[in-house]
């Protein structure tokens, strides 16, 4: 075995596998499944565990995330529904890519990997616009919702991140005018597709990211406020007047909010608000959560209580009883209680304070996490293959740059 491994150029192997992972991520569910297996296997075959574990041990961001994963697994001790526990635990395996990428990729390859991801998104956009203009048909995508490879909510997260990445480069002084023009065209197409599709999650997350990006570029000042207002007003007003899908969804959102304010929770946003009530009431009895697999069972039992009869219709109760809480924070809360949520928030804090000596990557890491922090409010993205893979790839890249930088200074 040692003779075989000595013949393998692991540096190039990791590079090609991670490049393929980034490129195919917006395009292929099967490719993601294959590569989240191949990457850890390659990591294990390479060996040198003493050095790898030392890198993990010395990186507080990786350690904090490992603690979160262990707390989630620990909740198996008070889980009764092991069948439903299978999916969350399987999805956690996707997050192993964080540790592989963080400890194995050369940092000079990080920007190439990001470019590979953008290339994959470009192909995805090309196919989506072909569907929208009815040039061709592709899988389940429709002109009303041109999401060619994934569910529209997941796709909206991909597009929101790509959009803010490109906008950040346009406003940056690090790129030439010719490059900015290319970024500008891509930004218009990807942002346009974000509002042609039905995913409101990415649309809302983009607002927060634009505000954060403006503060990054202009600090907290009148200029950052005006820049945010101008960008948000221009983008969303244009989308409202051009995209009938966005117009309809915007009116639905406003209608849902009005219903919630009138204590009517029988709507898309109303049901999400109802999950907050059921979750907090469950936690009063189970402060350590109900276990990684019992979150649906516990919610089903809770929502049948008489106090919800005046707030929710039988149809809404049925939906709540059979679904996840549509919120990553609530899901963690339900599974592992206050300890689980605190461990996750601690990881977020360590990630946001991660030292990256490349200013552009540091800023991008903050924008990336902003997209996810807001999107987590609408969907448990760790239960979704595409979004958990996206999270694993970029968290791994940012932590990798931090580790490589520290190693070079030692």
Q: Is 264 exposed, middle or buried (0-12, 13-18, 19+ CB in 10 A)?
A: middle
Residue 388 has a CB neighbour count (10 Å cut-off) of 22
How far apart are the C-alpha atoms of 371 and 328, rounded to whole Å? 13
Task: Supply the pTM of this predicted model.
Answer: 0.94
Query: What pLDDT, on a 0 to 100 scale, did the predictor assign at position 70?
Result: 95
> Shortest CA distance to 351 belongs to which of 389, 381, 311, 392?
392
How far apart are the C-alpha atoms of 407 and 59, rounded to whole Å? 11
Query: What pLDDT, on a 0 to 100 scale, did the predictor assign at position 410?
Result: 53
For residue range 115-160, what is the model confidence (pLDDT) as tens digits?
Answer: 999 999 999 999 999 999 999 999 888 888 899 999 999 999 999 9
Task: With H, G, I as helix, E, B as strand and everything else as coil, classify residue 148.
Answer: coil
**Measuring CA to CA, how many Å separate 170 from each of 88, 183, 185, 274, 346?**
38, 7, 10, 40, 32
Chain center to CA of 157: 6
> Shortest CA distance to 106 belongs to which of 211, 13, 207, 6?
13
For residue range 318-367, what is the model confidence (pLDDT) as tens digits?
Answer: 999 999 999 999 999 999 999 999 999 999 999 999 999 999 999 999 99
For residue range 203-250, what is the model confidence (pLDDT) as tens digits?
Answer: 999 999 999 999 998 888 888 889 899 999 999 999 888 888 888 888
> Shortest CA distance to 120 belongs to which of 162, 171, 57, 183?
162
Instruction: Note the maximum CA span of the chain.
Output: 71
Q: Residue 296: left (phi > 0), alpha (psi -120 to 50), or beta?
A: alpha
Task: With H, G, I as helix, E, B as strand and everything else as coil, classify residue 142.
Answer: strand
Q: Where are the domains of the chain?
A: 2-254+325-409
Q: Is 113 exposed, middle or buried (0-12, 13-18, 19+ CB in 10 A)?
A: buried
**Measuring CA to CA, how many Å separate 315 from each of 170, 270, 271, 321, 333?**
47, 13, 11, 10, 25
**Average pLDDT score, the chain:** 92
> Shortest CA distance to 75 belongs to which of 287, 254, 327, 383?
287
Query: What pLDDT, on a 0 to 100 scale, did the predictor assign at position 328?
Result: 97
For residue range 45-77, what is the model confidence (pLDDT) as tens digits?
Answer: 998 899 999 999 999 999 999 999 999 999 999
């Amino acid at each position: 075995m040692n003779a075989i491994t000595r013949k393998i150029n692991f540096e190039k192997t990791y590079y090609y596998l991670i490049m393929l992972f980034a490129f195919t991520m917006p395009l292929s569910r099967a490719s993601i499944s294959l590569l989240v297996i191949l990457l850890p296997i390659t990591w294990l075959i390479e060996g040198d565990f003493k050095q790898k574990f030392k890198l993990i041990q010395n990186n507080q961001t990786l350690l904090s995330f490992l603690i979160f994963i262990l707390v989630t697994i620990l909740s198996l001790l008070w889980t009764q529904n092991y069948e439903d526990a299978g999916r969350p635990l399987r999805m956690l395996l996707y997050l192993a890519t964080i540790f592989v990428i963080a400890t194995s990729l050369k940092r000079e390859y990080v920007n190439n990997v990001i470019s590979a991801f953008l290339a994959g998104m470009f192909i995805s956009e090309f196919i989506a616009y072909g569907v929208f203009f009815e040039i061709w048909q592709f899988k389940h995508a429709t002109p009303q919702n041109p999401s060619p490879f994934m569910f529209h909510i997941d796709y909206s997260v991909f597009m929101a991140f790509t959009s803010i990445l490109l906008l950040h480069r346009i406003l940056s002084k690090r790129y030439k005018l010719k490059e900015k023009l290319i970024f500008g065209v891509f930004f218009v197409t990807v942002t346009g597709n974000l509002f042609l599709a039905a995913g409101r999650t990415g649309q809302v997350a983009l607002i927060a990211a634009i505000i954060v990006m403006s503060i990054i570029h202009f600090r907290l000042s009148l200029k950052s406020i005006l820049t945010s207002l101008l960008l948000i007003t221009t983008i969303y007003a244009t989308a409202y007047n051009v995209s009938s899908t966005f117009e309809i969804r915007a009116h639905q959102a406003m209608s849902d909010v009005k219903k919630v304010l009138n204590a009517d929770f029988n709507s898309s946003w109303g049901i999400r608000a109802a999950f907050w009530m059921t979750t907090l009431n469950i936690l009063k009895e189970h402060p350590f959560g109900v276990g990684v697999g019992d979150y649906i069972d516990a919610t089903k039992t809770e929502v049948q209580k008489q106090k919800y009869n005046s707030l929710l219709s039988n149809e809404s109760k049925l939906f709540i009883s059979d679904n996840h809480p549509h919120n990553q924070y609530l899901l963690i809360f339900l599974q592992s209680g206050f300890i689980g949520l605190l461990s996750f928030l601690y990881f977020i804090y360590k990630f946001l304070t991660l030292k990256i000596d490349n200013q552009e990557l540091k800023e991008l890491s903050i924008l990336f996490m902003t997209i996810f922090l807001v999107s987590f409010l609408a969907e448990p993205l760790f239960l979704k293959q595409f979004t958990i893979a996206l999270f694993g790839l970029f968290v791994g890249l940012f932590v990798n740059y931090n580790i490589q930088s520290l190693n070079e200074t030692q």
